[in-house]
């Protein structure tokens, strides 16, 4: 059973189609990244998954239960950090959490509140008013409220937007720690591809409400027909001319030569064979194969008609 299943969901706001027959599934226990340009439909998908809005067509299921018919128990299984989570400034962090605990009707709320404050690193600020919190602290309080009901699925809408680098790395540490804990499925949206690359097992790329690409980060990189950069260092510059033929036989292009070093672009499937063939024919001082970043996959997904990678 998948943690999340989205089946041909369409959502419109007046003339705007925010999601257009979107289907995707999220593996239980995985960390899943929703990537997309502004207005791609990421927040709309989160709001549909927590039942804040209803689809015009299609269906969504969390933990195997249709969101449209899900009762309170299933809704408690989903923790949600909205993109713009704000709290009454006069309340303390602890009071915000106590209020949320009452809404969820939690048993032993104080114990749970102490626990989530420690997970997000807000113990020392718990009794300060939220109005004096920094942006990063407010995001962490938002995460604490999302975690309060011990959800099985955690939805984080642009969790690190607007945070400084220290705040981002603290947030990443917390998300990694949470993702490592058993059974938790994390779905996060982001514009920052390196963030998705470092945190997520798989990603979906949305554009104007359509799924452009989906799969593991490694598979997306591999299956994109982009090139890899191979940097080859030869022992002697005299060998430069000798290796050109081998490089072109591997569909490679030499983009620059500096002394005895060559920068080559070639198809990902050829890179290893190219380097091992060179290693058998000339003296290599070293080599480096640079995988394409998700950036290239993303750019490519946005310029191609919608397609899925399996």
Ligand X SMILES: Nc1ncnc2c1ncn2[C@@H]1O[C@H](COP(=O)(O)OP(=O)(O)OP(=O)(O)O)[C@@H](O)[C@H]1O
Task: Select 39 or 167, whichever has its Cβ closest to ligand X.
Answer: 39
**CA neighbor of 258 nearest in space, from 225, 233, 226:** 233
Distance, CA of 198 to chain centre:
8
Distance CA 296, CA 292 (A): 6
3-class SS of residue 231: strand
Query: What is the closest distance, in whole angstroms, from the C-beta atom of residue 208 to ligand X in the complex?
Result: 8
Return the DSSP state at 293: P
Query: What is the closest distance, in whole angstroms, from the C-beta atom of residue 168 to ligand X in the complex?
Result: 17
E-state strands within 178-294: 185-190, 202-207, 210-216, 228-234, 253-258, 261-266, 284-290
Distance CA 4, CA 204 (A): 13
Task: Select 36 or 252, whichever has its Cβ closest to ligand X.
Answer: 36
Strand (E) or helix (H) holding 74: helix 72-76
Return the DSSP state at 279: H
Task: Select 16 or 272, whichever has its Cβ closest to ligand X.
Answer: 16
Phi, psi of 61 (to 5 degrees): -130, 140
Query: What is the closest distance, in whole angstroms, from the C-beta atom of residue 138 to ligand X in the complex?
Result: 17
Task: Select 209 or 252, whichever has its Cβ closest to ligand X.
Answer: 209
Task: Select 36 or 151, whichever has its Cβ closest to ligand X.
Answer: 36
Could you tell me which residues come within 8 angstroms of residue 16 by beta carbon, excluding any fewer than 6 positions away?
none
Query: What is the closest distance, in whole angstroms, from the C-beta atom of residue 32 to ligand X in the complex?
Result: 15
Task: Select 18 or 230, whichever has its Cβ closest to ligand X.
Answer: 18
Query: What is the closest distance, in whole angstroms, from the C-beta atom of residue 131 to ligand X in the complex?
Result: 25
Could you tell me which residues come within 8 angstroms of residue 194 by beta carbon, excluding any fewer than 6 positions away?
293, 294
Query: What is the closest distance, in whole angstroms, from the C-beta atom of residue 17 to ligand X in the complex?
Result: 8
Distance CA 253, CA 238 (A): 19
Could you tell me which residues come within 8 angstroms of residue 154 by beta carbon, excluding any fewer than 6 positions away?
78, 79, 80, 81, 146, 147, 178, 184, 185, 186, 187
Q: How many Å is the Cα radius of gyration of the chain?
A: 24
Binding residues for ligand X (CB under 6 A): 13, 16, 18, 36, 38-44, 83
CB atoms within 10 A of CB 253: 11
Query: What is the closest distance, in whole angstroms, from the C-beta atom of residue 34 to ligand X in the complex?
Result: 8
Task: Select 157 or 239, whichever has its Cβ closest to ligand X.
Answer: 157
Query: What is the closest distance, in whole angstroms, from the C-beta atom of residue 157 to ligand X in the complex?
Result: 7
Query: What is the closest distance, in whole angstroms, from the C-beta atom of residue 171 to ligand X in the complex?
Result: 17
Task: Select 16 or 249, whichever has its Cβ closest to ligand X.
Answer: 16
Task: Select 47 or 152, whichever has its Cβ closest to ligand X.
Answer: 47
End-to-end CA distance of the chain: 18
């Amino acid at each position: 059973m998948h943690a999340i299943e989205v089946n041909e969901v369409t959502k419109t706001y007046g003339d705007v189609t925010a999601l257009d027959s979107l289907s995707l599934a999220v593996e239980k226990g995985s960390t899943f990244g929703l990537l997309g340009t502004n207005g791609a439909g990421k927040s709309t998908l989160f709001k549909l998954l927590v039942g804040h809005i209803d689809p015009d067509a299609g269906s969504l299921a969390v933990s195997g239960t249709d969101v449209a018919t899900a009762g309170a128990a299933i809704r408690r299984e989903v923790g949600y950090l909205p993109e713009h989570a704000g709290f009454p400034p006069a309340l303390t962090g602890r009071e915000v959490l106590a209020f949320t605990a009452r809404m969820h009707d939690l048993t032993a709320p104080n114990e749970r509140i102490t626990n989530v404050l420690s997970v997000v690193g807000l113990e020392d600020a718990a009794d300060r008013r939220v109005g004096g919190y920094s942006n990063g602290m407010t995001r962490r309080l938002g995460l604490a409220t999302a975690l309060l009901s011990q959800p099985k699925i955690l939805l984080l809408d642009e969790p690190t937007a607007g945070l400084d680098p220290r705040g981002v790395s603290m947030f990443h540490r917390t998300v990694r720690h949470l993702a490592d804990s058993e059974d938790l499925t994390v779905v996060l949206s982001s514009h920052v591809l390196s963030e998705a690359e470092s945190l997520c097992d798989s990603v979906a790329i949305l554009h104007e409400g359509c799924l452009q690409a989906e799969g593991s980060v490694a598979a997306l990189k591999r299956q994109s027909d982009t090139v890899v950069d191979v940097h080859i260092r030869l022992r002697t510059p005299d060998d430069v001319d000798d290796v050109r033929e081998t490089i072109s036989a591997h569909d490679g292009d030499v983009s620059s030569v500096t002394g005895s070093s060559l920068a080559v672009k070639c198809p990902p499937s050829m890179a290893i064979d190219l380097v091992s063939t060179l290693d058998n024919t000339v003296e290599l001082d070293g080599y480096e194969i640079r995988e394409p970043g998700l950036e290239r996959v993303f750019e490519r997904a946005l310029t191609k008609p919608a397609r899925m990678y399996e």
